């Protein structure tokens, strides 16, 4: 059997935060944020709204839109860095709440690369014949771990959730995939709950995201351009064969730089950052869903998804939209 992506759903909390919000708390302005990142708004969860709630609503939205039964889901993978709690896992919480009695449940810790890692894992689990119906979720409440004293990072993050259903089929639609890591950059993007060390560098626990933006930016552009070309080669395609490129939505300038390096017109990209900010593992499904809703992505289109983030991690796959 082959792996087929058959459904998608998203959810974002109601509260919308515009760039002017940050002018009151740090030395920044709307013009800087728009021109350096492309972000215009982001959504924040309420105090009593957690990542599991966002994920649950994304799954319920998908089930309603596609008229799906969930009781025969046999695996749920949840990518997040903002679990409600470290134990139990988010996947277990959702398995119980959404009544999926047969489902194995596992969280993925690969930061903004997490959703794409989930796609690659789901493809492998289905192609091996072990599982038939898998949910891959990317969900975050980054507003709860944002350092609102750091102007270089607080303006970036937002909350949201997305999910896709991957099923076993005679003829699948998930083609070439990549997944990898570069742990040497671990200290450039972290979220720590303990005083500890990463790569010999002392890390203070503050339960907030800390990022060396410039270093991650440079790494992301060169690594994503490389992985883009590796995916093309694996699938035997050229850049003209890609209808839609859906990279992790961190910064519009990163997306533009990748496109320039690989020779892809920027009009062929889908992003979620302008509306939702950087939502880490949720950013790819949010962008894809919005692309579908806008009537851009059509049946038969070749879509390349490529995630990257803390770890450092990256993963991606080419999907032919069914």
Q: What would the x/- binding string for ligand UT7 be over residues 202 to 231, using CB under 6 A? A: -----------xx-xx--x-----------
Helical H segments across 76-201, by residue range: 90-97, 114-127, 151-154
Instruction: Say whether 19 is catalytic.
Output: no
Least distance to ligand UT7, CB of residue 300, Å: 31
Q: Pick the closer one to ligand UT7 by CB: 37 or 61.
A: 37
To ligand UT7, the closest distance from the beta carbon of 196 in angstroms equals 20
| Known active-site residue 92 | no
Residues 6+ apart with CB under 8 A from 267: none
> DSSP for 173-232?
-EEEEEEEE-GGGGGGEEE-SSSEEETTEEE---SSEEE-HHHHHHHHHHHHHHHHHHHH
Which three-class secondary structure state does DSSP give residue 151?
Answer: helix
What does the DSSP assignment read for 231-290?
HHHHHT--GGG-SEEEE--S-HHHHHHHHHHHT--GGGB---HHHH-B-GGGHHHHHHHH
Q: Which is nearer to ligand UT7, 34 or 97 (CB)?
A: 34
CA distances from 214 to 69, 88, 167, 276 (A): 45, 35, 39, 21
Applying CB under 6 A, among 155, 255, 303, 304 the residue interacting with ligand UT7 is: 155
| Closest residue by beta carbon to ligand UT7 | 213
Does the annotation count 112 as an active-site position? yes
Q: Which of residues 42-81 bind ligand UT7 (CB under 6 A)?
A: none
21 is a contact residue toward ligand UT7 (CB under 6 A): no
Catalytic residue among 112, 173, 251, 259: 112
Position among 10, 11, 37, 122 found at the interface with ligand UT7 (CB under 6 A): 37
Residue at token pair 């990518």: 79
d(CA 200, CA 223): 24
Per CB under 6 A, contacts with ligand UT7 among 282-321 are: 309
**Distance in Å, CB of 124 to ligand UT7, minimum:** 24
Which of 153, 160, 161, 138 minimizes the C-alpha distance to 206? 153
Residue (63 or 252) nearer to ligand UT7, CB: 252
The least CB distance from residue 151 to ligand UT7, in Å, is 4
Span 259-278, contacts to ligand UT7 by CB under 6 A = 278
Nearest to 135 by CA among 187, 78, 56, 186: 78
Using rule CB under 6 A, residue 180 touches ligand UT7: no
**For ligand UT7, which is the closer residue by CB, 30 or 301?**
30
Site size toward ligand UT7, by CB under 6 A: 19
Instruction: Tell me whether residue 100 or residue 312 sits nearer to ligand UT7 (CB atom).
Output: 312
Q: How far is the CB of 113 from ligand UT7 (least distance, A)?
A: 9
The one-character DSSP state at 29 is: -
Q: Which two tokens stand for residue 196?
A: 């500890």
What residues are labeled active site?
112, 248, 278
Question: Which residues in this chain contact ligand UT7 in the complex, by CB under 6 A?
Answer: 28, 32, 36-37, 112, 151-152, 155, 213-214, 216-217, 220, 250-251, 254, 278, 280, 309
């Amino acid at each position: 059997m082959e792996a087929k992506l058959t459904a998608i759903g998203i959810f974002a909390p109601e509260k919308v935060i515009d760039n002017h919000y940050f002018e009151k708390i740090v030395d920044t302005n709307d013009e800087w944020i728009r021109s350096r990142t492309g972000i215009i708004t982001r959504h924040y969860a309420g105090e009593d709204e957690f990542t599991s709630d966002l994920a649950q609503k994304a799954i319920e939205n998908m089930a309603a839109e596609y008229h799906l039964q969930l009781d025969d889901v046999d695996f749920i993978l949840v990518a997040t860095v903002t679990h409600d709690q470290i134990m139990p896992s988010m996947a277990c919480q959702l398995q119980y709440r959404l009544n999926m009695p047969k489902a194995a449940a596992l969280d993925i810790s690969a930061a903004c690369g997490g959703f794409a890692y989930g796609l690659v894992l789901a493809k492998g689990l289905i192609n091996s014949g072990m599982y038939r119906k898998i949910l891959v979720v990317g969900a975050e409440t980054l507003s709860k771990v944002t350092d609102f004293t750091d102007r270089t990072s607080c303006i970036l993050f937002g909350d949201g959730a997305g999910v896709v259903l991957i099923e076993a089929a005679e003829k699948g639609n998930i083609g070439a995939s990549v997944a990898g890591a570069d742990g040497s950059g671990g200290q450039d993007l972290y979220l720590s709950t303990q005083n500890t060390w990463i790569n010999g560098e002392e890390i203070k626990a503050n339960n907030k995201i800390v990022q060396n933006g410039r270093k991650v930016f440079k790494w992301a552009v060169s690594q994503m351009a490389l992985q883009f070309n590796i995916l093309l080669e694996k699938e035997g395609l050229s850049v003209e064969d890609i209808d839609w490129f859906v990279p992790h939505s961190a910064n519009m300038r990163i997306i533009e730089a990748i496109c320039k390096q690989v020779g892809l017109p920027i009009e062929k990209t889908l992003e979620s950052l302008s509306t939702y900010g950087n939502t880490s593992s949720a950013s790819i499904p949010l962008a894809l869903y919005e692309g579908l809703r806008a009537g851009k992505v059509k049946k038969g289109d070749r879509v390349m998804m490529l995630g990257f983030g803390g770890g450092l991690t990256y993963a991606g796959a080419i999907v032919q939209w069914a």
